[in-house]
Structure 1
Amino acid sequence: MHVAILTNFATPKGGAEKVAIESARGLAERGVAVTLIHGVDGQADPLLDHPGIHRVGLGLTDVWERPAWRGAIEGIWNREAARRLAAALAALPAGPDLLHLHQWTRSLSPAVFSVLARSGLPVAVTLHDYFLACPNGVYYRFDTAEPCTLTPLSAGCLTASCDPQSPAHKGVRLVRSAVQSAAIARGFTGRPLDLVHVSDGSRARLAPMLGDGRFRHRRVDNPVRVARAAPADPASGDAVAFVGRLTREKGADLVAEAARRAGLPSLFIGDGPLADALRAVPGAEVVGWRPPAEVEALLRRRARAVAAPARWLETGPLTVYEALAAGIPAVASDRAGAGEKIREAETGFVVAPDVAALAEVFGRLKDDALVRRLGEAAHTRYWSAPMTLEAHAGALCDLYAGMTEAAEAPSFQRSAVM
């Protein structure tokens, strides 16, 4: 089998690229031929250094680095991205059996959907966020700091001041979303687009938004690259830890205030717009971004629990899975997909993204016996069915086998040439 994986970057600038790169490596290790096509050139992640992975850069520019007007145009429809992608696919010595898209908003643009459709190949799209349906990508209202309840591209959506940056940015995103929907509707009429969800929660939310029969909904866990080791001893830690971008939608401010009320220090590994405000909270420590190995060592040494109390409907934050794998209790938002992996009061807690609710849970984490029991159970339960790279690649191979079998059916062949 030969799979072409498409994404914006060959380095993990976000969760989508991280999973795309890890998927490529896991598939290659299973003997699958992989071509990774990335929009922006540059240094590649070392994981892509494998004889089974062929890498193709399209030489595009990240729209965030363009002048505003140029970035807006290319973000809506990048004709050059479509042209270069079509040429790259045509130039491959051996054509792929299927195409798997992970991210497209930063360089590829919705224009690539027309190329994918014209290929006639089975196409999978992993939904790391809500961009396939929601203009701002997170189905979250930044004006009210609450999840959105509007139908994407409805009259209410068109007039909502929900964008994190400005009304002008909202306008561009609305146009991009409408153009994207039209491209998918035109290109995939009569044959399905396989959508891969990373949590049951995001599947339950996105499937009704997307609505019609153009899509087949699949479910595959993201990989967690944590080597099995002895469980941590979270009872020896002193702080509630948060790992990631320090923003309100991710709930970083909730962790700092709830930990202060509970009488525990808080540790923030990451950076973002709330960094200075967090440093001003008594007991809070911000250490910035750290390499993955250093993050794991720091959590094993300092964390009584890892908290991810997102206000937005996060699809599946990896930090929760990584904590459980290390034997550290996790506290997740009841709005996040990662909460599905937590057994309440057995391996951690699932709570509303609310200071009072979090403070109550954090207060319970002052009990050493409870924290130690939660950590041991988290480690045992996680490793009974680990979300390893090998397991992820196996699930993808099963998915691909079903897609290629369906593609060989007469109904698919007829629709592919309509």
Structure 2
Amino acid sequence: MRLVVVNDVSVVLGGATKVAMQCIEAGIAAGIDCSVLVGDDGEGVRTSFPAAKVTSLGERPLRDGVRLLDVIDRNYNCRAYEALDNMLAEGDEETVVHVHGWSQILSPSIFHALARHRARVIVTAHDFFLNCPNGGYLNFRTGEVCHYQPLSAACLCSNCDKRNYVHKLWRLGRMLTQRSAGQAFWNRVEVILAHENMEPYLSSAGLKHFRTLRTPCKPLAAEPVKAWLNDRALFLGRMTWEKGVRTLAEALIRTGRTATLIGQGPLLDEMQHALPHCYVPGWLEDSEVQRIAAEARFFLMPSLMPEPYGLVAAEAMMSGIPVIVSSNALIAEEVARNGAGLVFESGNAASLADKMAMMDSVATVRRLSEGAYEYGKRIAPSGDEWRRRLIEIYQRPMSWGVKGEEVGSLPEGFQVIH
């Protein structure tokens, strides 16, 4: 068999690209002939995986600045279509194509190329771009989770985009381009979910085949943390509105509490000016993040959007650091059920402040810290288990619709959804 991994970029700046690189690594280690299509210059893959055959477009992602031509190219990138079509023309019957990110460079044109071939198509849903025009099921104007049917009249009329309504209309056009690959194509696409609770958000897109394979992660700190002996509140993530950093800032200002906020993003300068009493350094090296995590009393994940997984929150729990998560996070229910942290009302700074105040109790933090550490042992597969399951998916596809297949043999963190 041949594996083709498809992703917008080759440099790891987020979770989707990190997982894409892990898929390449797992495929090569299993002796699979591995090819890669990326929209940037491809140097990140060429450097890390010399054995992989890389096709690169040499283009820039939308987040690096929008050009006039992007209005067309990022809706339907002809170069991406031709590149993938040519790769599959070499032989597609024994090929598995694993798609990760496409919204920044490659565009929905890749699905039109895939629809022309018999290659097996797997898409890992790192977000909701398979169904939602803005990718987040979030109204960026109100901060509320959107419950409209994607592409419905209500969706069309909703000014939910983070930029403006014209951009929303462009995103709707891109979604129509994506859907126009044809229902016969989407009926055969297999979707890997980062979290099982993503499935209800995606099932209305005409997708039929779902399985959950949670992303492996490692503890945030080098050693288990006795959080009740520490006093640092910690946030680690992108400094964007949808990640809830303004809600966090309001709660910190309201209470006068200090915290460490690590991460890059468009709101970094705003956070640095709004929180002079906090440590807001931008991005830090992994070794420094580890050191700071070892001093954490609790971890904050204040996302406004339905956060698909919350990888960093899982890494915190694996370290024994209790978490305070937004009610919109898809892991919120399991955090509360396993005594691994607290849940606050999404977007409500007063609610967040109340939960932070509860962390003043040594007994509460110790109980949650111990609960987080125990649950962290089960929240996600180990790297070895994840690689084994991934290669099984590539080499021996499950029989969709066979109730309960292999479920009994799967550790927590894996689930077959029918």
Q: Unaligned stretches of 5+ in structure 2?
A: 401-418
Pairing 1:146–2:144 present: yes
Distance (Å, rounded) in 1 between the aligned partners of 2:264 and 2:245: 10
Of the candidates 349, 352, 373, which is equivalent to residue 355 of structure 1?
349
Deviations 1:208-240 (A, max 9, x none): x32x4x531111101214489530122233222
Distance (Å, rounded) in 2 between the aligned partners of 1:38 and 1:225: 26
Kindly indicate whether the alpha-carbon contact (under 8 Å) linking 1:199 and 1:337 is maintained by their aligned counterparts in 2.
yes
Distance (Å, rounded) in 2 between the aligned partners of 1:306 and 1:47: 34
Matched letter for residue 198 of structure 1: A
What is residue 329 of structure 2 aligned with on the other side? 336
Kindly indicate whether the alpha-carbon contact (under 8 Å) linking 1:78 and 1:108 is maintained by their aligned counterparts in 2.
yes
CA 1:256–1:387 in structure 2 vs 1: closer, same or farther (change >3 Å)? Answer: farther
Pairing 1:4–2:4 present: yes
Kindly indicate whether the alpha-carbon contact (under 8 Å) linking 1:2 and 1:32 is maintained by their aligned counterparts in 2.
yes
Kindly indicate whether the alpha-carbon contact (under 8 Å) linking 1:4 and 1:37 is maintained by their aligned counterparts in 2.
yes
Distance (Å, rounded) in 2 between the aligned partners of 1:25 and 1:351: 38
CA 1:391–1:48 in structure 2 vs 1: closer, same or farther (change >3 Å)? Answer: farther
Distance (Å, rounded) in 1 between the aligned partners of 2:253 and 2:40: 43
Pairing 1:382–2:380 present: no
Kindly indicate whether the alpha-carbon contact (under 8 Å) linking 1:98 and 1:121 is maintained by their aligned counterparts in 2.
yes
What is residue 236 of structure 2 aligned with on the other side? 243
Of the candidates 236, 239, 245, which is equivalent to residue 252 of structure 1?
245
What is residue 125 of structure 2 aligned with on the other side? 127
The residue correspondences of 1:9-408 to structure 2 (distance < 5 A) are: 9-44=9-44, 48-49=48-49, 51=51, 53-64=52-63, 68-90=67-89, 97-185=95-183, 187-188=185-186, 192-207=188-203, 209-210=204-205, 212=206, 214-226=207-219, 229-262=222-255, 264-279=257-272, 280-281=274-275, 283-301=277-295, 303-339=296-332, 341-344=334-337, 346-353=339-346, 354-384=348-378, 386-403=380-397
Provide the TM-score with structure 2 as the length reference. Answer: 0.86
Is the partner of 1:374 in helix, strand or coil? helix
Distance (Å, rounded) in 2 between the aligned partners of 1:37 and 1:198: 22
Matched letter for residue 133 of structure 1: N
Q: CA RMSD in A?
A: 2.7
Compute the displacement of 1:341 (Å).
4.6
Kindly indicate whether the alpha-carbon contact (under 8 Å) linking 1:321 and 1:338 is maintained by their aligned counterparts in 2.
no
Is the partner of 1:296 in helix, strand or coil? helix
Distance (Å, rounded) in 2 between the aligned partners of 1:344 and 1:266: 26
Deviations 1:291-319 (A, max 9, x none): 33322222112x21111121111111211
CA 1:162–1:181 in structure 2 vs 1: closer, same or farther (change >3 Å)? Answer: same
CA 1:2–1:252 in structure 2 vs 1: closer, same or farther (change >3 Å)? Answer: same
List, as ranges, runs of 4+ consecutive aligned residues in structure 1 with deviation greater than 6 Å.
Answer: none
Compute the displacement of 1:66 (Å).
6.7
Distance (Å, rounded) in 1 between the aligned partners of 2:311 and 2:331: 8
Aligned residues: 398
Matched letter for residue 316 of structure 1: Y
Matched letter for residue 120 of structure 1: R
Provide the TM-score with structure 1 as the length reference. Answer: 0.86
Matched letter for residue 143 of structure 2: A
Kindly indicate whether the alpha-carbon contact (under 8 Å) linking 2:338 and 2:372 is maintained by their aligned counterparts in 1.
no
Identity %: 30
What is residue 410 of structure 2 aligned with on the other side? none
CA 1:269–1:46 in structure 2 vs 1: closer, same or farther (change >3 Å)? Answer: farther
Compute the displacement of 1:116 (Å).
1.4
Deviations 1:229-252 (A, max 9, x none): 530122233222111112222111
Kindly indicate whether the alpha-carbon contact (under 8 Å) linking 1:307 and 1:331 is maintained by their aligned counterparts in 2.
yes
CA 1:296–1:54 in structure 2 vs 1: closer, same or farther (change >3 Å)? Answer: farther
Kindly indicate whether the alpha-carbon contact (under 8 Å) linking 2:260 and 2:279 is maintained by their aligned counterparts in 1.
yes
Is the partner of 2:241 in helix, strand or coil? coil
Kindly indicate whether the alpha-carbon contact (under 8 Å) linking 1:22 and 1:47 is maintained by their aligned counterparts in 2.
no
Distance (Å, rounded) in 2 between the aligned partners of 1:119 and 1:97: 10
Matched letter for residue 72 of structure 2: I
Is the partner of 1:311 in helix, strand or coil? coil
Distance (Å, rounded) in 2 between the aligned partners of 1:59 and 1:24: 20
Compute the displacement of 1:177 (Å).
0.6
Compute the displacement of 1:348 (Å).
1.1
Range moving further from structure 2, 132-141 or 10-19? 10-19
Is the partner of 1:287 in helix, strand or coil? strand
CA 1:23–1:338 in structure 2 vs 1: closer, same or farther (change >3 Å)? Answer: farther
Distance (Å, rounded) in 1 between the aligned partners of 2:211 and 2:79: 31
CA 1:72–1:186 in structure 2 vs 1: closer, same or farther (change >3 Å)? Answer: farther
